Structure 1
């Protein structure tokens, strides 16, 4: 006689996930204290060691700091391990309402991606061009889709387009970063694509990047990539702030 199967024990509530959602969405800002351990124990009906374990995860990721006698305080964004896969996953799920995080990601992309596009225009091989063009064709195929699924597919091809350019730089650091940065890129791409007033113009900016890379024009690739990100900033209603972009433009203009 076979014994009855034991039912799977339900997973306990995740305090780390709850606090990550609250922090990344902006309900708790840097400098704010999150709820005390005892309050979290009562709220989630779990013991103190479980709460401390989840808080430790946030501490290890640089998101909160434990202050003896006071509780746990959200650290400044510069202290977060922003490239950790757990953090980027939380960012993708929860950060859309937080303009400061979006601004930080956009500023980083403004510093990096035009330069990467310039490198790709000098180094891309045939297979790289195929990957970039395939992603652009995928965007084209879903450009006029009205459904949420169509828009999601468009954004997925958009992200693939940017990742393919990172890989086409043929620099192992940028290529690896393309995997790490993918959730961050997806966060801005999906949000800006849903917000843009002129998706056709956005697509055309992407096409110009591809053409500059395909025709081996590094400066034009740099400038075209900059325009893509300016369009992203406009769609999000974000002023990205200072970046090293101005220095690169001065350099590129000096070589005309």
Structure 2
């Protein structure tokens, strides 16, 4: 029984709206393009009913991430994609949640992966140990299982998770501390392309076969084949997303052993 002298529990304060999240969603979705000005501080204060210091604090998050710049007397302008701190954990989190509709960002991520992942696969084919091969194979088995059963959103999510785990396992199989750490940083951006491409793939079985060839090339210690197989996997991703991967990728001009 509650004592008549006891005080009622204090209500939890309501979390204020996050201007950083609101603007990040709009910018990553492409509603504000590089060179565009975002709403002024006073407009944001009125719209979200918060004070100016809170608005400035949230805008500072976007400034620190390299996404916007403050121009005295004019406001805040979206910077060019090349200026964004794309590997910052906060930026990659925003990218995963909000960037799906933006083909420009997808194209940039794809170009980077085309530059990097064939070399990673080639190194993994030289250095992978037994436990690495097990991790790659387990991810591949999960990929195939969830592909065959992908009749609902949860199974499609599991399919994408296994696909990401497959690529991360290859990074770790290089036994290079930088590549291994980079796989954690890149995980959100890999997930972005994987989830989008898996939803729009014309022939999922072909994609699964490309992954199998990559796995077997690493397992059989064939660096050159692993390099080319990784390129084929990413070419399939580009095709599923309707993106042109471009001609500047490093792997197009390298002479393989």
Query: For this structure pair, what is the TM-score category when the shorter chain's length is used for normalisation?
Result: over 0.9
194, 203, 209: which one pairs with 1:204? 209
Q: CA deviation at 1:106?
A: 0.2
Partner of 2:162: 157
Distance 1:114 1:107 in 2: 12
Helix, strand or coil for the counterpart of 1:142? helix
* 1:247 aligned residue: 253
Q: Quick check: 1:142 aligned with 2:146?
A: yes
Q: For 1:183, which of 168, 172, 188 is the aligned residue?
A: 188
**Alignment partner of 2:147: what SS?**
coil
Q: Secondary structure at the match of 1:143?
A: helix
Aligned pair 1:122/2:122, yes or no?
Answer: no
Alpha-carbon distance in structure 2 between the residues aligned to 1:203 and 1:3 = 62
Q: TM-score, normalised by structure 2?
A: 0.96
SS in 2 for 1:33: coil
Whole-Å Cα distance in 2 between the matches of residues 38 and 236 of structure 1? Answer: 39
SS of the counterpart of 2:253? helix
The match for 1:21 among 22, 25, 44 is 25
The answer to whether residue 227 in structure 2 is matched with residue 222 in structure 1 is: yes
In 2, Cα distance between equivalents of 1:93 and 1:191: 12
- Partner of residue 107, structure 1: 111
TM-score, normalised with respect to structure 1: 0.97
The residue that corresponds to 1:9 in the other structure is 13
Q: State the Cα distance separating 1:3 from its structure 2 match.
A: 2.5
Give 3-state SS (helix, strand or coil) of 2:113's partner. Answer: helix
* Distance of 2:120 and 2:32 partners within structure 1: 35
Structure 2 spans left out of the alignment, 5+ residues = none
Taking the aligned partners of 1:4 and 1:214, their CA distance within structure 2 comes to 65
Secondary structure of 1:190's counterpart equals: helix
Q: CA separation in 2, counterparts of 1:198 and 1:147?
A: 18
Please name the residue that 2:172 is paired with: 167
2:136 corresponding residue in structure 1: 132
CA distance in 2, matches of 1:143, 1:50: 46
Aligned pair partner of 2:63 in 52, 59, 62 = 59
Partners of 1:214 and 1:245 lie apart in 2 by 21
What is the distance in 1 between the residues matched to 2:10 and 2:211? Answer: 54
Paired residues, number: 251
d(CA) in 2 for partners of 1:22 and 1:107? 23
How many angstroms apart in 2 are the aligned matches of 1:148 and 1:202? 19
- Aligned: 1:80 with 2:92: no
Distance 1:73 1:245 in 2: 35
User: Which blocks of at least 5 consecutive residues in structure 1 are unaligned?
Assistant: none
RMSD in angstroms over aligned alpha carbons? 0.7
SS at match of 1:113: helix
Looking at structure 2, the residues matched to 151 and 161 of structure 1 have their Cα atoms a distance apart, in angstroms, of 15
In the alignment, the residues of structure 2 paired with residue 60 and residue 154 of structure 1 have an alpha-carbon distance, to the nearest angstrom, of 34
